[in-house]
Structure 1
């Protein structure tokens, strides 16, 4: 079933590639983030999952920023995606947001991809003229990924329900994790920015992704939302049902930094 799912996804990625014009100065790389929980596709509101503590939960929202992308070659050199083109908001409720294409990538082979989960401190504090698209505070308000009261972007949101959560004022058993903070501007804060580096293969020997003007190259990365609970430091929803700016937010950031892994890559001559 897993292989069949990946095969169908790869066909969809290739179809998406065909609709884009490849920058002849280099190549294009179509990237898709496939949200999951414990190896099963993430389905909002209806699917029930279980964490390592044995707590059942459903997910109603799962949104996160990806930024500052670098493609790293086997010799350690890297192509740095121009920063203005390197900010993406991925929303589980919007499938179109879960894929994007990097153009103008220098032709060659790449062994790893690196990126930041969240919005870096420089862009958090930049003039509003330098914050367009998904970084526009207006659109970020609409998507709920910007704090006015704390002046900054929310790196990641996970919300849902669980019988293990305490009853809220509305009588529902909900949990929410809104993780932001970048170290502070004038006042020091927790720094919950995390950088992730992923080998582009199942092992070191196969970690190679080819990009070029005559190739349609696609990459799928798996994202396991369950790692927020079951990462390096597992925790119970019952104990921490609502976390935003408390010190425990750093533990959750450390956990979700481990939720990304290689799915597959495909390069087809055209």
Structure 2
């Protein structure tokens, strides 16, 4: 009588072990899927010409004017990955905004999920579209607490550069460029399309991750096509002609400098 009971206990123990193993395998699969919530990473690096930007360190612009930076940030959205050979364009949701803030290293590493493919261009809009400027209280990257919002009438600051310079005849020699404007005739939102370094491309395979690094050159704010001298324009705090000129300058500050594809 004891023999069958022993066999029953062994059988029950075997079933329990199998169920436990299956449960563990499901958890591992779930974790693995969670790790695949993104497959491309965009790293933004701030530079001044050939030097890395360090807050509080002195640099010089095209006009040899010395300045130091204490804040540098901008919005991007409507990110597109492009293959010009096939004409394929993968566009992220247009309402997906990212605030790139070089005072917060977490914000300069943007993780996205895109369709595996080969891409040789990236495009995005720097700024906030007109509809979101008048859409009431926002959250996440567009939260007014981020310090990038004026009023419901003037909208969002699309890009911000702050610091100081002995060339600025302002209190504490402050330089402040808060670039915004979304109404007709003063819209500073700019679409940027960037080429990749020669012979390189994003070759994104299923289950793998690619990274690209984009530099943003602060000195581009001051020159080409418009001469923006600190001595003449130490601040820009409202929409208008000067804001549009600075935006036209800084649209050229971006360069794709590196691409790494996971084999």
Q: Which residue of 2 aligns with 1:196?
A: 192
SS at match of 1:152: coil
Q: Alignment partner of 1:202: what SS?
A: coil
Partner of 1:114: 123
Asked if structure 2 preserves the Cα contact closer than 8 Å seen for 1:70 and 1:113, the reply is: yes
Q: Name the structure 1 match of 2:162.
A: 159
d(CA) in 2 for partners of 1:35 and 1:219? 14
Instruction: Say whether 1:135 aligns with 2:138.
Output: no
Aligned-residue CA RMSD (Å): 1.9
CA distance in 1, matches of 2:132, 2:94: 10
| Aligned with 2:63 (options 25, 45, 53) | 53
Out of 114-123 and 229-238, give the one that drifted further.
229-238
Q: Which runs of 4+ in 1 moved over 6 A?
A: none
Which whole-Å deviations, capped at 9, do the CAs of 1:237-259 have from their partners, x for residues lacking one?
00011112231111100000000
Q: What is the deviation of 1:173? A: 0.8
Tell me the equivalent position of 1:22: 36
Q: How does 1:61-76 map to 2 (within 5 A)?
A: 61-74=71-84, 75-76=86-87
Alignment correspondent of 1:208: 201
Residue 40 of structure 1 deviates from its aligned partner by 0.8
Aligned pair count? Answer: 230
**Could you say what secondary structure the match of 2:39 adopts?**
strand
Greater RCO (Cα-Cα under 8 Å, separation 6 or more): 1
Q: 1:55 to 1:108 in 2, by over 3 A?
A: same
Alignment correspondent of 1:178: 178
Query: Deviations along 1:210-236, whole A, 9 cap, x unmatched?
Result: 122232211100110111012322321
Q: What per-residue deviation string (whole Å, max 9, x for no partner) do you get for residues 162-221 of structure 1?
A: 1111032xxx11111000111x2xxx450111110001x223xx1421122232211100
SS of aligned partner of 1:96: helix
Shift of 1:149: 6.2
**Structure 2: stretches of 5+ with no match in the other structure:** 1-31
TM-score, scaled to structure 2:
0.82
Summarize deviations over 1:135-163 as a string: whole Å, max 9, x none. Answer: 13xxx2x2210012634111001011111
- Is it true that 1:263 corresponds to 2:257 in the alignment? yes
1:235-254 mapped onto 2 (5 Å cutoff): 235-244=228-237, 245-254=239-248
The Cα of 1:102 is off from its aligned counterpart by 0.5
- Seen in structure 2, the aligned counterparts of structure 1 residues 58 and 218 have a Cα distance that, compared at 3 Å, is same
Change (3 A) 1:258 1:20: farther
Of structures 1 and 2, the larger Rg is shown by 2
